[in-house]
Amino acid sequence: MVVLGFLGAILLASVLLAMPFAQAPAANVSPLDAAFTAVSAVAVTGHVVVDTATVWSGAGLVIILLFIQLGGLGVMLVASLIGMTIVRRYSLRSRTLAGTENRGVTTGDVARLAKGILITALAIEAAVALVLTLRFRLQYDDSWGEAIGHGVFLAISSFNNAGFAPFSDNMMGFASDPFVLLPMCVATILGGLGFPVLLQLRREFGRPLHWTMNTNIVLAMTALLLFLGTAYIAVLEWSNPETLGSMSVADRLLTAFFHAVQVRTSGFNSVDIGQLTSETWLGMDVLMFIGGGPAGTAGGIKVTTFAVLLFIILTELRGEGAVNIFGKRLSRAVHREAITISLLSLGAVMTATIALMMITHLDLDVLLFEVVSAFGTVGLSTGITADLPDAGKVILMILMFLGRLGPLTLGTALVLRQRRVLYELPKERPVIG
């Protein structure tokens, strides 16, 4: 049902974006490009094959924004919210569906949960939109209508980690403006933490001893990856005249931090990604693959999955039996889930990269960046997306869809049921390493 819900949203968005009223008068968007944009919006990715600012009309931008919001909150959770408003009651089936789409969400009081998620999301988006609107109005002399439009669009796109921008050069025109870039970073980080973390912080911000293992892992890994990502990008691009090399020290640090935030699933850019070094691309590949927190607007395998694998390795190197994280023992079932998610995700990335290499003549580093960006629902590109053949665009669409739902969720939906084994085979250990 989760898979069908997302497919239905993508189909509806594709039809609407293919209509003449959604496109600028001189635009002639093909059905495939309309569908690509629809997938990118619902999967909150931000990959584009046409110029968002000039190709889509005002109605088209509103459609994209609505489906970004829908994809960010979760199709099933939004459907449950509508049902709550109209019917004021839930069946066990609808509660289960809402919980399935947002991993880590229980099947308890979905009505209360949905209200909390919606209020939290709208409050963050409204605060960021207000700051951006005032900045566009006072600093850039936008009319109030333009300032509000730009502020609301960027706030929703940032919080939902979508990466769509109403400007032809994305955010390159604001590379030196912290009053635009930093509020967007705040929205991106908060959206990437995941709703379970946001809701717990709202209730128990001053009581860290009550935080769950999930909250502790997400907060710690987010801070660590932001620091390492900023340092990595700053060091490798510091002297690159095409990116950071021509900026002041303050602007270099701002740009490095901005991209360390955005590369972890949002996808805005304030410099030309195609001018980065290959080494920077590879480091960004790792950050995009890891992604953000679970049950939120971020993509990737999630920081919790990466942290679990990291702690499993540390436990094995120390020769200990149980994996302990933040004073609690990790369930062994989570070990298998983390390994499954990681290997399935790696398999999807490698398969797509090989397929693109077979149908194009582009370099491996460029194609790998494009593939990981699509799978991690990031949307950053070195500039090759629009020039890919139709088959290549379809591959990226599949990756964005897989990246939003998660390989394990899709696999479970296709299998439909779990097989219970009533016996165990004899135990034996192969040689490892």
- Could you give the CA distance from residue 281 to residue 285 in angstroms, rounded to a whole number? 6
Q: Say what the pLDDT of residue 422 is.
A: 82
Q: Does 425 fall in a domain?
A: no
pLDDT in tens, 300-323: 999 999 999 999 999 989 888 889
Instruction: State both tokens at 425.
Output: 């085979």
Q: Say what the pLDDT of residue 30 is.
A: 93
Measured on CA atoms in the order 47, 49, 54, 55, is the torsion positive or negative? negative
Instruction: State both tokens at 210.
Output: 């009550």
Q: Say what the pLDDT of residue 104 is.
A: 47
Angle at 103 between CA 97 and CA 108, to 5 degrees: 55
If DSSP states are collapsed to H, E and C, what string results for 231-286?
HHHHHHHCCCCCCCCCCCHHHHHHHHHHHHHHCCCCCCCCCCHHHCCHHHHHHHHH
- Could you give the CA distance from residue 33 to residue 69 in angstroms, rounded to a whole number? 20
- Could you give the CA distance from residue 230 to residue 256 in angstroms, rounded to a whole number? 5
Q: Say what the pLDDT of residue 410 is.
A: 57
Let me know: does 299 contact 375? Beta carbons within 8 Å. yes
- What are the residue ranges in the chain where pLDDT is below 50? 87-90, 103-107, 414, 416
Q: Does 30 fall in a domain?
A: yes
- Could you give the CA distance from residue 188 to residue 184 in angstroms, rounded to a whole number? 6
pLDDT in tens, 204-255: 888 888 888 989 999 999 999 999 999 999 999 999 999 999 999 999 999 9
Task: Indicate the number of domains in the chain.
Answer: 1
Q: How many distinct helices (H) and strands (E) make up the chain?
A: 18, 2
* Alpha helix segments (H runs only) across 74-177: 75-87, 92-101, 110-139, 144-159
- Hey, what amino acid is at 71? G
Q: Cα(first)–Cα(last) distance of the chain, in Å?
A: 41
Q: Does 388 fall in a domain?
A: yes
Q: Does 426 fall in a domain?
A: no
SS3 83: helix
Instruction: State both tokens at 366.
Output: 């460029």
Tell me the HSE value of 35 on the side-chain side, using a 13 A CA sphere. Answer: 14
Q: What range defines the domain where residue 355 resides? A: 2-415
Q: Say what the pLDDT of residue 264 is.
A: 85
Q: Does 299 fall in a domain?
A: yes
Let me know: does 95 contact 101? Beta carbons within 8 Å. no
Tell me the HSE value of 111 on the side-chain side, using a 13 A CA sphere. Answer: 10
What count of residues does the chain have?
Answer: 433
From the number of C-beta atoms within 10 Å of its C-beta (0-12, 13-18, 19+), residue 21 rates as exposed
Instruction: State both tokens at 269.
Output: 């850019």
| Residue in 215, 261, 271 with CA at minimum distance from that of residue 238 | 271
Dihedrals phi, psi of 244, to nearest 5 degrees:
-90, -20
Q: Say what the pLDDT of residue 182 is.
A: 97
Q: Does 254 fall in a domain?
A: yes
Q: Does 431 fall in a domain?
A: no
Q: Does 285 fall in a domain?
A: yes
Let me know: does 9 contact 67? Beta carbons within 8 Å. yes
Let me know: does 83 contact 91? Beta carbons within 8 Å. no
Q: Say what the pLDDT of residue 359 is.
A: 95
Find residue 329's DSSP bridge partners.
324
Instruction: State both tokens at 148.
Output: 């509000």
- Could you give the CA distance from residue 247 to residue 288 in angstroms, rounded to a whole number? 25
